[in-house]
């Protein structure tokens, strides 16, 4: 397995994902706090697992890579960065699929919904270059419309045209759909 560096991810403009493995020792859940781009904070969760986790299902690549806490976790070898190809290859393994299901069930026992769009996209077919963050934002039901719109506006500089098109097509929130559609026209 080839480990990636933060600078390699920064230079990779073709890929919007940040795949990690929890390599903490002693083992433990890792909570990573990052800016949400709108003046608040998000807590990203990296559970104890051997399965790869795409952090961009919880925040944008730009927000993650600019986090000093994220960079410390990588430098201290608490998390290991892997390529999307490596992650997708691992996700094909039946043991890893079962592990993802276990994580989702464990999180749901505590009332926390952990979506794994990378599994969903593999099952539904390729979604192109739509980031996990855009998928989660378009499908969110946990926040009110103004919160989703504020989060979208705060992160739009790091989103692609494909992200905005996806949000405009999938979101059930009228203001969010309209804003994303207007940005698609501008891009």
pLDDT > 70: percent of the chain? 87
Tokens of 20: 């990690």
Tokens of 128: 């192109």
The answer to whether the CB of 46 falls within 8 A of the CB of 32 is yes
At CB < 8 A and 24+ separation, what contacts does 87-93 make? 87/17, 87/19, 87/52, 87/54, 87/118, 88/118, 88/122, 90/51, 90/52, 91/51, 91/52, 91/118, 91/119, 91/122
pLDDT band with cut points at 50, 70 and 90 for residue 69: very high
* 33: three-class secondary structure by DSSP: strand
Q: For the whole model, what pTM was predicted?
A: 0.61
């Amino acid at each position: 397995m080839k480990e990636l560096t933060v600078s390699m991810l920064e230079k990779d403009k073709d890929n919007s994902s940040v795949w990690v493995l929890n390599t903490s020792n002693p083992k433990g859940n890792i909570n990573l706090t990052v800016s949400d781009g709108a003046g608040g904070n998000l807590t990203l969760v990296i559970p104890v697992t051997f399965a790869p986790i795409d952090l961009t299902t919880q925040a944008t690549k730009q927000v993650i890579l600019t986090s000093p806490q994220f960079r410390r976790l990588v430098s201290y070898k608490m998390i290991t960065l892997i390529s999307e190809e490596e992650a997708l290859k691992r996700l094909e393994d039946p043991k890893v699929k079962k592990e993802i299901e276990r994580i989702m069930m464990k999180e749901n026992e505590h009332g926390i919904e952990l979506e794994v769009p990378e599994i969903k996209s593999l099952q539904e077919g390729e979604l192109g270059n739509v980031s996990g963050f855009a998928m989660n934002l378009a499908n969110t039901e946990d926040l009110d419309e103004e919160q989703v719109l504020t989060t979208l506006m705060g992160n739009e500089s790091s989103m692609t045209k494909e992200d905005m098109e996806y949000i405009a097509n999938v979101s059930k929130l009228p203001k969010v759909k309209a804003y994303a559609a207007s940005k698609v026209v501008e891009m």
